[in-house]
Structure 1
């Protein structure tokens, strides 16, 4: 963690937050004496991870030390981290050096053309910070008209957390918004030197009370396919299955495409006529 005090503090915050959510019974320890604070004690986590309490305390304090991958695996097991959280733990300590990337992300012309051919299946491509780089007509009809928005607002996170329209469109808004923020956190750990992540986060923290509440909880969420429920003025509520594909030219660019039941798919097509 040399030279990365901000990431060391984030590691400490993550360990502390995950320790607080566990009880002794969760990890097979006796309840012991009355506890003044919630969660496990530091020495209990150290015992479970087979490290010294002093070393664990140093990690939680955000000191600039660099635990080995073996120690991180032991901490992940002790704190019952899931796969995404464990990967995030490693990225905070052993993440790759920041890549030199262009300020403006671009797509090969074939990608927007592919999106157009996917109509009426809603499809869009997001960049590393979830800027919407391209979207077909069906996606613009169901979500928002991305090209019509100011350039700084063509971002899925910004739309999700600051535009009241998002809370109308996304039927399960709290779960969707929390998961999106968790994916953003995971991506930001892979690009610790990219100022676009910190700039967007600062804007979100200033604009959204939910981001201010949820960001300290250190939720990390992996990319995954699944189901989304959307609400449209003309169609009502519709359920969509989606898959996420990473582009070979830049794996941080994600193509997301959706399909609905046949009847709903026909109704989406009707919006485009």
Structure 2
């Protein structure tokens, strides 16, 4: 085969891939425009204004809210061949208020892997889900080393309010403890809890410093929570204790004193089942009452 023939064959082989990539870029651009145009300025805390011709948000507003350059975002909507990081995709998904299906579609079009727990609950087998149910009325959940809550039983769902109402991508202990109103009200020793979880998270992150999901979480927390930023900048570290007593002021049944226990499922990945066993008879009765309140939510 001559050199010219080989070059022609190579171009023919690459052509379908090039066309596919081009189609994806145009689909991504169209999808972003459609999502941008459905969001009103009021939904993201911007004034409506009197001379707004564009339906929904302007490109520069999306860029500003997502902390990216206006020119770069414009190129993205023009289907130009540019690289898009998972951090930027995550920021765009939040700015455009994408639901779970829309978020998955965004990452698929960008040919990227969504690093949030909403994308995959790796390691939660049917057997583990059955164990969570069997532990009722004891509140229990499964967490990974990043403190994402991957699965939980009905009593745990009502331990601090209504965990079912929290978007899956926000079911993370750092996010909940530092930013969620229900959790902040329910945790009796809030500041101690915040300090300890920041110190434990720093220890856990030492083995994941180059992973986007971990860096994205820290970036989000430092931006959204001055309290987290303060504790994070102290560089405190502490190890995990398998058992300790915690107190919650539950909005449905009152004060609960519970022994928190970590049951390690996979020490290498940090996966663990977390249980909360009542330490006294009053807490035991209240946990049973909480379970009775939580079960109808599952039937509904």
Q: 2:203·2:239 contact (CA, 8 Å) conserved in 1?
A: yes
Aligned to 2:252: 234
More off after superposition, 256-265 vs 207-216: 256-265
Q: CA deviation at 1:262?
A: 2.8
The runs of 5 or more residues in structure 1 that have no matched partner are 1-100
Larger Rg belongs to: 2
Q: Deviations along 1:49-107, whole A, 9 cap, x unmatched?
A: xxxxxxxxxxxxxxxxxxxxxxxxxxxxxxxxxxxxxxxxxxxxxxxxxxxx9943421
Q: CA deviation at 1:228?
A: 0.4
Aligned to 1:164: 181
SS at 1:142's partner residue?
coil
Aligned to 1:135: 152
- The counterpart of 1:243, out of the listed 247, 253, 261, is 261
The answer to whether 1:270 aligns with 2:278 is no
Q: 1:147·1:154 contact (CA, 8 Å) conserved in 2?
A: no
Q: CA deviation at 1:250?
A: 5.5
Task: Find the aligned partners of 1:115 and 1:242 in 2 and give their Cα distance.
Answer: 15
Q: Which runs of structure 2 are paired with 1:1-273 in the superposition (5 Å)?
A: 103=115, 104-106=120-122, 107-224=124-241, 225-248=243-266, 251-260=269-278, 261-273=280-292
The runs of 5 or more residues in structure 2 that have no matched partner are 1-112, 293-300
Q: TM-score, normalised by structure 2?
A: 0.54
Q: 2:143·2:151 contact (CA, 8 Å) conserved in 1?
A: yes
Q: CA deviation at 1:146?
A: 2.9
Give aligned pairs, total: 173
Q: CA deviation at 1:249?
A: 7.8
Q: CA deviation at 1:147?
A: 3.4
Q: 2:175·2:221 contact (CA, 8 Å) conserved in 1?
A: yes
Q: 1:175 to 1:249 in 2, by over 3 A?
A: closer
What is the root-mean-square deviation of aligned Cα atoms in Å? 1.9
- Higher relative contact order (CA closer than 8 Å, sequence separation 6+): 1
Q: TM-score, normalised by structure 1?
A: 0.59
SS at 1:159's partner residue?
helix
